[in-house]
Amino acid sequence: MVINEFLTALLAILGSPQAVMLVLIAVALGIILGAVPGISTTMAIAVLLPITFGMEMEMAILFLLGVFIASVYGGSISAILINIPGTPAAMVTQLDGYPMAQRGQGGQALKLALYASTVGGLFGILLLIGVSPLMAAAANMMQSAEFAAIAILGLVMLAFASSTSPVRGVMVGLIGILCGMVGFDTMTDIPRFDYSVPALQGGVDVVAMMLGIFGLAEVMKNLSGASNPDFQRPVIGNAVLSLASIFKRWGSMLRGSVIGAIIGCVPAVGSAIAVSVAYAQEVRLARDKSAFGSGEPRGVVAPEAANSSSIGGSLVPMMTLGIPGDTITAVLMGALLMHGLRPGPLLYVNNPEFFASVYAALFIGVMATLVVGLLLVRAVVRIMGIPPRILLVAIAVLCVVGAFAIRNSISDIYVMIFFGCVGYLLHLLRLPAAPLAFGLILGPILEENLGRALLLSRGAWSVFLDRPISLAILVLTLVVLLLPVLSGLWRRLKRPQLAGAAE
């Protein structure tokens, strides 16, 4: 049944010249923006999100997923050619990709990365197709108490993963929850925290906030010199790559794809951890471990496969449970909310055709990235030579235009600028910005389901303990909170034993 729906959606997209042209444009923009250092995948999607305002829902998702997939590969271009990762997850690719470029094999490294990304992307789609219906079916048994518990777990995990200090992440997440309370209460319809400002009665717009903390704040950081890379002239070199050399690395591609897809399913873990684990696994299995870091092709193939396969994995919790797996899926979730769709198990029940459209869009995006990537590499290299300040100013203009286009309101521009300053301030204070967005998205979900659960139970908090699923989720949340404390105590207890053994 799922395969039939997938094929139907795929043929519908391929039968529309407008849709094919749209995905090609999205992929080209994604590769270009992903290749430019300082412009992350999250920033690329946030900046281009306003373009989808006038599109139909299917076309908007097709465009955004095309940008998502292509920008993930685009980050490897600058990592390989100039030793500056275009996206955070490409940091591992540069370890062996750049040494290959220094040997005149930059073109080969780019092709290996592209083929590995294609294999990983397809594997991630298979995982999404196989797992999403099962998770959605299981989630259908959940009620308000379970959804509230899931929202708490998501906030805790995302806050922990977004900062080296869990306390800081939780603090920023709580601020995001407060931002989500601005406007009318969903239960009582009473305005809160609007300070008699009409523009705030409708709440803080998710897209305006995303453009601010992930778009304008990044521009401010780059223009201030905080992370302004020193561009150098990249050289592609020899780009000839035989089929034998590609199939020789099929094991690395497969292992990286499996690792990326599985880790991508875990909320808050993200692609950066997936590529690190995939790279570490290749080093562990290698006979000559010294080859890694000096231009080993497996050091390019495995992380790139993991990077792309994590895309399908990260969409699983977002689409089935309504929990964004990382900052990128948080932006995508904001786009779905803007188009009137709330991710979660009810989405699969009420709009099963939407899931098929996502599967088809991902498949077309992966294949389009393969074709456009082979054709566009040399053009991207020239674009990378543009002074970064010019690009950043253009992105700032897009942020302003995009914020205004949300509701044709000047107030949304003010909201975007405000959160841009907040994002920059968080950067100066070395606080994570991602939990702020997660709090804004998950906060209203938590508040609505918490209020409904207490209303149905007539104020009895025991409803969260009486239901086995919500109890299990809350126990898991408690374990996540206590794990750093318990691991610290374990290290302290173990230290005297090690000292005694040394004596």
Structural domain for 490, as ranges? 2-502
Burial of 414 (0-12, 13-18, 19+ CB in 10 A): middle
- The span from the CA of 435 to the CA of 443, in Å, is 11
The tally of domains found in the chain comes to 1
Contact assessment for residue 272 and residue 89, using Cβ atoms and an 8 Å cutoff: yes
Q: Which residues contact 49 (CB under 8 A, 6 or more apart)?
A: 64, 207, 210, 211, 331, 334, 335, 402
Q: Show pLDDT as tens, one digit a residue, over the chain (503 residues).
A: 567 777 787 888 888 888 889 989 999 888 888 877 656 677 788 778 888 877 888 888 889 888 888 888 888 887 787 666 666 667 778 778 888 887 777 778 888 888 888 888 898 888 888 877 776 666 666 677 877 887 777 677 665 655 456 677 778 888 888 888 888 876 777 778 777 777 777 778 777 887 788 778 878 887 776 444 444 445 565 555 666 667 777 888 888 888 888 877 766 555 666 787 788 778 777 777 777 777 788 888 888 888 888 888 888 878 777 777 667 777 788 777 777 777 776 777 677 777 788 888 888 988 998 888 888 776 766 665 667 677 778 778 877 877 786 667 788 888 889 998 998 998 888 887 777 877 787 777 788 778 888 887 887 888 888 888 788 888 888 887 777 677 667 777 766 655 555 55
pTM over 0.85, yes/no:
no
Helical segments of 235-351, H only:
243-247, 250-264, 270-285, 298-321, 327-338, 345-350
- The span from the CA of 355 to the CA of 502, in Å, is 58
Contact assessment for residue 326 and residue 268, using Cβ atoms and an 8 Å cutoff: yes
- DSSP for 447-481 reads HHHHHHHHHHTTT-TTHHHHSHHHHHHHHHHHHHH
